Amino acid sequence: SADKPSNFLRQIIERDLAQGTYANRRFAGHPADAAGHAAGQPDPARIRTRFPPEPNGYLHIGHAKSICLNFGLAQDFGGICHLRFDDTNPEKEDQEYVDAILDAVRWLGFDWNVGGVSHLFYASDYFNFMYRCACALIEDDLAYVDEQSADDMRRNRGTLTEPGVESPWRARSPQENLRRFEEMRAGQHPEGSMVLRAKIDMASPNINLRDPAIYRIRFAHHHRTGDQWCIYPMYTFAHPIEDAMECISHSICTLEFEDQRPFYDWLLDHLVRLGLVASPRPHQYEFARLNLTYVVTSKRKLAQLVAERHVDGWDDPRMPTLVGLRRRGYTPESLRLFTDRIGVSKADSWIDYSVLEQALRDDLDARAPRAMAVLDPLRLELTNWAEVFGSADHAEPCSAPVHPAHPEMGRRSFDLTSQVWIEREDFMEVPPKGYHRLTPGSMARLKYGYVIRCTGCEKDAEGRVVKVLAELLPDTKSGTPGADTVKVKGVITWVSASRGVAAQVRLFDRLFTDAHPDVGGRDFLSVLNPQSKQTVQTYVEPAAAAAPAGASFQFERHGYFVADRVDHAVGAPVFNRTTTLKDSWGK
Ligand code: ATP
Ligand code: MG
Ligand code: MG
């Protein structure tokens, strides 16, 4: 942990550890504590953080920052990070999302099982306790049932410059409020007819403290608690209580919650005073969310892209979701490297998409096997093949290192045959100056193979080149003593026409044409890039075609590719380009 660069959150934790702020925490022994801590048991963790997604969509790259941050801080400081589903909003949540989130956190390399104990929690398990807390606030005259219409309530909240107006229901007695609240719970009042509000200060300069709603009526089926409840706590009320119940020490969230912190403190201080929450209680700290250029990171907008079929699903390789990035070929290591590099701060900023791509390159360069692939195939025939090798069908074995810097990864073999695929751009009938590849009369090396001399080409009726003709120079094979006798400047990649394997390759461009697709109220759909996906028919080296789905390669010259997790099959290979070899995004 000492080698990690410091940041304001690490400094806060270091200060709390030095001062022993959380040294004497004891569990309350609540029945909803899924980790089963007994009442009075001292907390063995030095700190506790949590990652609290709402299961209403798939996680995206912004969530990866939060996951790496919260799990990373716990790891570095001898703490425990909880994975908690903040499932207090029944309409939008679903088990499908719960499963996908569990998968994503595990895939990123983090584990909520610590010392054989699961630290997986569901806020919905705390509904009973939250209800108790609400009743205790009512009894203490700190909450009341408001029967104003939603419009009146909004109007009476005031503005930044005008104080709010107190509700006519604000002065009701605790007994009357308790009775009303019990009726709400019993389903005796329709949705929208009343809410429970905290009684704080309608004149507060912080609008969040002007008697915020803490419970509302919803006759909605919950994916875990079913129809047990028809009142649900508001996020701002539920979240501090969830933190407190789990003995969280550092509750880290994004900057938009800064204005909610006074309520977080108000609520927990009262619950401590009322004996419902143990002291020392958790504290909230805010950091700047991740904003990545050319990307939208709002679940609502991502859901819209999926629903309106602008992409092929949540796991479309162009999506910034973790399932999308995974399918695109991003590795967990590269995403962790990315979040380490961008760090955390208290000021909002934009991170260039190229930073994410560079993290992928830096991860894969060191370990991805190399292979040859021809993305824009043009046939080349070696016209003296039978003469040199005695048979037109001869296949000449060639080999290359799996990784040039790692001999221990072994070698790969592939055959050179009389006909091969080369890139269309590697032949030019009338070349520009300085062109070192194939042109009638020029020589170049077929990489890991022989030097060849181009003798001409064949064209179709439209004048398009359909075949390049060349002669092989015997005794120039790479890796043999004669390899250097003929010096050439150009080296071209190729795949045997008869031994190479046809593969579908998907080439992606940015999903949006503007770096800030949803800034300033712009309709992000208006800047969708109509050419963000291109599918090409290619040929790849047999070793790559035989790879399992999910395997990453560097296709020489072309970048990093992954065998598609869904569509790739041995015999019918499908690759996604994760990124090019060099930054092509520009500045
Ligand atoms: P969205 O606004 O896309 O719906 P959310 O913030 O509502 O996302 P949650 O499931 O509530 O989604 O988020 C879980 C955690 O991830 C929260 O603590 C939130 O602060 C954090 N988070 C979400 N988006 C980002 C982001 N872009 N950068 C950093 N952290 C994020
Ligand atoms: Mg949220
Ligand atoms: Mg949000």
Of 60, 63, 94, best ligand 1 pocket probe by most atoms within 8 Å of the beta carbon: 63
Assess whether 357 carries a catalytic annotation: no
Average pLDDT over residues 375-389: 98
- DSSP state letter for 369: P
289 Cα nearest atom in ligand 1: 28
Inform me whether the pLDDT recorded for 98 exceeds 50: yes
* Ligand nearest to the backbone CA of 53: 1
Alpha carbon nearest to ligand 1 atom 27, residue? 62
Q: How far is the CA of 16 from the centre of ligand 1 (A)?
A: 26
Catalytic residue, from 132, 289, 341, 499: name it.
Answer: 289
In sequence order, what E strands does 364-511 have?
A: 370-371, 373-374, 377-382, 396-401, 411-416, 419-423, 443-446, 451-459, 465-472, 491-492, 494-496, 501-508
Inform me whether the pLDDT recorded for 2 exceeds 70: no
Interhelix angle 174-185/127-139, rounded to 10 degrees, is: 160
- DSSP state letter for 163: -
pLDDT, tens digit, 9 for 90 and up, residues 573-587:
999 999 999 876 543
Average pLDDT over residues 558-585: 93
Q: How far is the CA of 55 from the centre of ligand 2 (A)?
A: 9
Nearest alpha-carbon partner for 417 in 460, 447, 381, 451: 381
Inform me whether the pLDDT recorded for 404 exceeds 70: yes
Q: How far is the CA of 298 from the centre of ligand 3 (A)?
A: 7
Enclosing H/E stretch for 182: helix 174-185
What pLDDT was estimated at residue 586?
Answer: 46
Written as one letter, the residue type at 272 is: V
pLDDT, tens digit, 9 for 90 and up, residues 206-224:
999 999 999 999 999 999 9
What pLDDT was estimated at residue 32?
Answer: 84
Catalytic residue, from 50, 65, 261, 299: name it.
Answer: 299
What pLDDT was estimated at residue 584?
Answer: 64
What pLDDT was estimated at residue 285?
Answer: 98
Inform me whether the pLDDT recorded for 5 exceeds 90: no
Assess whether 341 carries a catalytic annotation: no
State both tokens at 223: 């994916």
Average pLDDT over residues 444-454: 98
What pLDDT was estimated at residue 485?
Answer: 87
What pLDDT was estimated at residue 216?
Answer: 98
pLDDT, tens digit, 9 for 90 and up, residues 110-164:
999 998 999 999 999 999 999 999 999 999 999 999 999 999 999 999 999 999 9
Residue 366: how many CB atoms within 10 A of its CB? Answer: 11
State both tokens at 27: 């569990």
* Ligand nearest to the backbone CA of 52: 1
Alpha carbon nearest to ligand 1 atom 18, residue? 253
pLDDT, tens digit, 9 for 90 and up, residues 321-364:
999 999 999 999 999 999 999 999 999 999 999 999 999 999 99
pLDDT, tens digit, 9 for 90 and up, residues 156-207:
999 999 999 999 999 999 999 999 999 999 999 999 999 999 999 999 999 9
Catalytic residue, from 10, 26, 46, 54: name it.
Answer: 54
66 Cα nearest atom in ligand 1: 30
Q: How far is the CA of 476 from the centre of ligand 2 (A)?
A: 64
Residue 256: how many CB atoms within 10 A of its CB? Answer: 10
Assess whether 54 carries a catalytic annotation: yes
Nearest alpha-carbon partner for 230 in 241, 222, 239: 222
Which residues touch 198 (CB under 8 Å, ≥6 apart)? 137, 142, 143, 211, 212, 214, 237, 263, 266, 267
pLDDT, tens digit, 9 for 90 and up, residues 411-436:
999 999 999 999 999 999 999 999 99
65 Cα nearest atom in ligand 1: 29
Average pLDDT score over the chain: 96
Which residues touch 402 (CB under 8 Å, ≥6 apart)? 369, 370, 409, 410, 411, 412
Question: 552-555 and 370-371 as β-strands: parallel, antiparallel, unpaired?
Answer: parallel
* Ligand nearest to the backbone CA of 60: 1
* CB-count exposure of residue 247 (10 Å: 0-12, 13-18, 19+): buried
In sequence order, what E strands does 204-272 have?
A: 213-217, 231-233, 250-254
Inform me whether the pLDDT recorded for 108 exceeds 60: yes
Alpha carbon nearest to ligand 1 atom 23, residue? 63
Average pLDDT over residues 19-30: 90
Inform me whether the pLDDT recorded for 267 exceeds 80: yes
Of 49, 66, 86, best ligand 1 pocket probe by most atoms within 8 Å of the beta carbon: 66
Q: How far is the CA of 65 from the centre of ligand 3 (A)?
A: 14
Q: How far is the CA of 64 from the centre of ligand 2 (A)?
A: 14
Residues with CB under 6 A from ligand 1: 52-54, 62-63, 65-66, 253-254, 289-290, 297-299
Inform me whether the pLDDT recorded for 34 exceeds 90: no
Domains annotated for the chain, with CATH where assigned, are: 8-120+236-287 (3.40.50.620), 129-231 (3.90.800.10), 299-369+503-579 (1.10.1160.10), 373-492 (2.40.240.10)
Q: How far is the CA of 55 from the centre of ligand 3 (A)?
A: 12
What pLDDT was estimated at residue 587?
Answer: 38
Residue list, CB under 5 A from ion ligand 2 = 54
pLDDT, tens digit, 9 for 90 and up, residues 65-97:
999 999 999 999 999 999 999 999 988 888 999
* Ligand nearest to the backbone CA of 349: 1
Alpha carbon nearest to ligand 1 atom 14, residue? 53
Average pLDDT over residues 31-57: 92
Provide Rg for the chain, Cα atoms.
31
| Cα–Cα dist 509/469, whole Å | 34
